[in-house]
Structure 1
Amino acid sequence: MSEEWAAIEDTLDELIEGQRAKMLRMGRRIVPTLTPEDMLQPNDFPELENNPEFRYEEGVMQGLMAAEALFRRLASAEEFS
């Protein structure tokens, strides 16, 4: 993987980790006992499921993860071409 691809991957990783931390902080304001494991199934908590701000941040996370998946596919295709 080239240095440019590695820099993009590092940036995406940082963005995803930052978003994950932001969601956990936000989630804990709504459900104080929320754990990182609970974040894997936030729909188990109606307070989160029905909170439009949390749902928005969840959508941002999904977008970042989709971008990461696309990046990895493109990087893999370039590596094997």
Structure 2
Amino acid sequence: MRLKRDAKMRLKRDAKMRLKRDAKMRLKRDAKMRLKRDAKMRLKRDAKMRLKRDAKMRLKRDAKMRLKREAKDRV
């Protein structure tokens, strides 16, 4: 009888431990996924910002060139 009870207790304890371990693993995995997603988002945002900046620079350069050309034409 005692052996049976001990075995039952052991099973219960093992099940609890397994649940705890699984929960920890799930938390770890979720954190990793969140990090990955955040990194992807950051990359996307940076790429967008770079495109915007490049477009602005291009516009500025084109405007300068146009002014130069118009100045030449006037002379």
TM-score normalised by length of structure 2: 0.41
Q: Which has the higher contact order (CA 8 A, sep 6+)?
A: 1
Relative to its length, the structure with more helix (as a share) is 2
TM-score normalised by length of structure 1: 0.38
The structure that has the greater radius of gyration is: 2
